[in-house]
Structure 1
Amino acid sequence: MAKIKVGVLGATGNVGQRFIQALDNHPWFEISALAASERSAGKKYGEVADWKLGTEIPESVEDIEVVAIDPKNIDADIVFSALPADLAMTIEPAFAKEGFVVASNAASFRMEEDIPLAIPEVNPDHLDLIDVQKKNRNWDGCIITNPNCSTIVMAVTLKPLLEFGIESINVATMQAISGAGYNGVYAMSIYDNIVPYIGGEEEKIETETLKIFGDFDGAKVKNAPFKVSASCNRVPVIDGHTEAIWATLAKNPKPDAVRDAFLKFDPGLSHLPTEPKHPIIVRDEPDRPQPRLDRDMGKGMSVSVGRIREGIRYVALGHNTVRGAAGASVLNAELLKEKGYL
């Protein structure tokens, strides 16, 4: 079977590098184009990418010539967007109009009424918004988005709790510095410190969660009825967002019942290449999960939970640039292929 050609927009940045890492030797997808700023265009990727990951640059992309970000430069069926939100606002629709499927990690279109905000394990039916989107916008292609990194980690753990009736969620996040990009947080600002503010982050968690858990009626998504309150903090951890979550549940389950729900969670997506064997891993140790020990579980795609207590209160942890960014977009694309959109 011939592989599907894919491109990466913003290929030299932190998330762009994660996309390349996730797509290297992918059984369904093959990188055919890498796009970045004009100053990188015309040069080999290995020459312009300031590679920051703990692996070598894949040989398959080292000699690919980087092109400027323009639909006419890209030979691919789907493009993965690691663009900043301001650039994505104009660039992503340009690609969708030209017939590309755009799997976006940017925040620009997440809350648009006709654009899916998708997590395959949580709301796969929302991908059918693509048909509504194409009709509304007269596009040959489409845009799909994955949520904010912290939202994804929390939402995966909330899915099994739906059976207990979610009334409200409170969350305090402890977010890794990689979420701000490689140069996003000055060393002297974060060493020996916690910054109790991340611009726009709390609002994203509070609004995106309601759309993700909303009901899709074939035309639009009606937001979930429960409330979400978030407090976000930047902590001196390189990768891995940790979240303390308080869930008010209508059926008032015991911690053992919640633990069992986490353990039994099976979204039926194990045939997708990027889906981990266990989307949720339960840690019974009193001091787990921890970023350094648990962020790479399931090749970075599993969410670990622990400290499940009366209330219901628990701690969740996920790799923010894998589960919460590039890996999430690749998993979305795999589900798109299965549903016939690629």
Structure 2
Amino acid sequence: MAVRVGVLGATGAVGQRLIQLLDPHPDFDLVALTASDESADRPYREVAKWRVDTPIPADVAEMTVTRTAPDAVPDDVELLFSSLPSGVGERVEPAFCEAGYVVSSNSSNDRNADDVPLTIPEVNADHIDLLEVQRDTRGWDGALVKNPNCSTITMVPTLAALDRAFGLESVHVATLQAVSGAGYDGVTSMEIIDNAIPHIGGEERKMESEARKLLGSFDGAEVRWHDADVAASCNRIPTLDGHLENVWADTNETVTAEGAADAMREYPSLDLHSSPDPLIHVFEEPDRPQPRLDRMRGGGMAVTAGGFRETEGGVQYNCLAHNTIRGAAGASVLNGELLLNDGWL
């Protein structure tokens, strides 16, 4: 029997992607949608300006939207996917967890909290067991798990492959990020057409901290962050979807371009519905990956990499992922599959 699930913040860009992924999902039955008080008690089709590249599911279009509050969501919903703004999430998500709901969240609040798992299932699935510490510490019947920032998700699987094979010492990354990462109203056309913006507020800090937590080790009581130095420079460019990143990684052991490519090519996927096989698609061509050509590999859930060359201390390469699928909604759904697979629901 499918697990009954809901979406918090269902009218936004990530909320719409969540609906697109959840409506046909074999393990989840989408039964609840929440939004702002102004949208509550109205059909979803009336309050959502649908902008996803597939039609709005007919059954979802007629669902009644509720307030984003625990007393407004049916208590038989087992899992909630959150795409709330972080300022709302930091207030609302704990209330849902206290009320007994399990929340898989894309919101940035609490990602680096000591007792909150920050997970990419193919990289650090064992960190999900931090939920035992969370429940003991907070006294919740529910639980809160986070996926990382969209730019972090793009590079971390490739770094995990390098770390497993050669050890990771330091990382420098320059991102070329799509406008959809800022939300529909985030960057105006006058700002971004014929332009590039060499600053995305808070993005560098997120990449630098989240990567170290994701690559860290869990000893049953706490996550010990990876000791690699991570430095990021984040840039907005006029592509619609797909974050392209240029990565320079120094490794503990000597690595060749071919060895780095093989490590990524051989990095394993998981036996979960949304985890693609291969997880990392490696290109031989020096001019790939490219956002328009490669963002939808693996249904938008694969990471692609190419352009490998050796450097004095390690390797340089390019990587790409679809920022609203693998980098946001799909990541939350994948964490939901992990929660189900590991018996947290």
TM-score (norm 1): 0.98
> How far off its partner does 1:214 sit?
1.2
Partner of 1:295: 295
Which residues of 2 match residues 62-77 of structure 1 at below 5 A? 62-75=61-74, 76-77=77-78
* Equivalent AA in structure 1 for residue 55 of structure 2: E
Give the distance between the partners of 1:206 and 1:26, measured in 2 at CA.
Answer: 33
Give the distance between the partners of 1:233 and 1:22, measured in 2 at CA.
Answer: 28
Partner of 2:32: 33
Paired residues of 2:286 and 2:308 also in contact (CA < 8 A): no
Pairwise CA RMSD: 0.7
Give the distance between the partners of 1:202 and 1:260, measured in 2 at CA.
Answer: 28
Partner of 1:245: 247
Give the distance between the partners of 1:150 and 1:252, measured in 2 at CA.
Answer: 27
Q: Deviations over 1:17-58 (max 9, x none)?
A: 000011011100011100001111111111211000111001
* Equivalent AA in structure 2 for residue 69 of structure 1: T
Give the distance between the partners of 2:240 and 2:148, measured in 1 at CA.
Answer: 20
Gapped runs of 5+ residues in structure 1? none
Gapped runs of 5+ residues in structure 2? none
Partner of 2:177: 175
Instruction: Give percent identity, aligned residues only.
Output: 51
Match of 2:327 among 315, 324, 328: 324
> How far off its partner does 1:155 sit?
0.4
Partner of 2:97: 96
Partner of 1:9: 8
SS at match of 1:155: helix
> How far off its partner does 1:297 sit?
0.5
Matched pairs, number: 339
Give the distance between the partners of 1:176 and 1:205, measured in 2 at CA.
Answer: 16
Give the distance between the partners of 1:4 and 1:263, measured in 2 at CA.
Answer: 33
Partner of 1:218: 220
Which residues of 2 match residues 244-283 of structure 1 at below 5 A? 244-267=246-269, 269=270, 271-283=271-283
SS at match of 2:281: strand
SS at match of 1:27: coil
SS at match of 1:284: coil
- Pairing 1:198–2:200 present: yes
Give the distance between the partners of 1:84 and 1:204, measured in 2 at CA.
Answer: 15
> How far off its partner does 1:152 sit?
0.6
Give the distance between the partners of 1:43 and 1:177, measured in 2 at CA.
Answer: 30
Partner of 2:344: 341
* Equivalent AA in structure 1 for residue 116 of structure 2: I
SS at match of 1:153: helix
Paired residues of 2:111 and 2:118 also in contact (CA < 8 A): yes
Partner of 2:118: 117
Q: Which region of structure 1 is more displaced relative to structure 2, 7-16 or 248-257?
A: 248-257
- Pairing 1:184–2:186 present: yes
> How far off its partner does 1:287 sit?
1.1
TM-score (norm 2): 0.97
> How far off its partner does 1:213 sit?
1.0
Give the distance between the partners of 2:49 and 2:186, measured in 1 at CA.
Answer: 15
